[in-house]
Amino acid sequence: MGLGSEYRLVRAGSWSLLVNPEIWTRGLWEVILQHLNASSKAPTRHPQTIKFQFPPAIGGCNFYLKIHNLSDPFGSVKDLFRASKAFRALKVGRALCSEQFHAPTSVAAGESRTVRFVQQAFLLTLAVEGSSLPRFLQEHCSDSSDARSLKRKREYLIQFALEIRRLHQMGFVPGDLVPYNILVQLQGAGVKFIYLDHDRTRRYPRWFPHGLWKRNLVQLNHFELAGISRWDRIRFLHTYLGSRTCGKKERRLIRWLDRKTRIKFAAE
């Protein structure tokens, strides 16, 4: 899968596992199996995410386990010819990190198949410290009367726009680039953005022409965020597009985003 030597392929009954041998243990697998068996008895349409600590004693690591049960019939047929969502999410997470973006550390991914049909799959990641983007904005950027807070907000906004621009330039199109899937960590004078949930993230060749990046802009603009005005959104677009003025192209994109998201931006 193009993951190099960092992950090792392991067979365990009907399961095919890709594991990070530096973190993976038999005891960890036993805990995961318990959650997988419990989930299979009461399967849900959507993936199930479970947070747990291992070892359970004080000082253990926090993990997130995302379980995928049976896909819909169309998805099951497609999975005959491709890796499971869990394997694909692990691979794209590593690709993001290799390009100096940030994603949770993947500890393991696994899939169980019967006659090539995926019956169940999982992705295990280490928990990451940080605040969701909406919470971070509420805590650090919502006071527009404070000059220092306003300056920091605009600096963070520029950093975020440049990173999303580079993300798309490198061919990545996240499937769910909503503010709640972005964690923010303070890092010196700047911030670090950590991208979560890569089940539907795809990477296209850099030369491949597509407009899927617009979907990400819609996802980001679909939420009203503390301290973020209409003019902040316009500044974000200017930086993202690499433009200093609001020309015809920018105005057309702003109108298109407004129609798609139905947001009535508040005046600054």
pLDDT in tens, 15-46: 999 999 999 999 999 999 999 999 988 877 78
Helices (H), 12-72: 26-41
Question: What pTM, to 2 d.p., does this model score?
Answer: 0.87
pLDDT at 98 over 90: yes
Q: For the chain, report the end-to-end CA distance as a whole number of angstroms.
A: 48
Whether the bond into 55 is cis, omega within 30 of 0: yes
pLDDT, tens digit (0-9, with 9 covering 90-100), for 199-250? 999 999 888 877 889 999 999 988 889 889 888 988 898 899 887 666 777 7
Beta bridge partners of 52: 63
- Residue 80 is predicted with a pLDDT of 67
Element (H, E) at 257: helix 248-261
Structure tokens at 196: 């979560």
pLDDT, tens digit (0-9, with 9 covering 90-100), for 43-68? 777 899 999 999 987 788 999 999 99
Q: Distance from CA of residue 205 to its chain's centroid? A: 20
CB atoms within 10 A of CB 158: 15
- Per the model's pLDDT, the better-predicted residue between 175 and 266 turns out to be 175
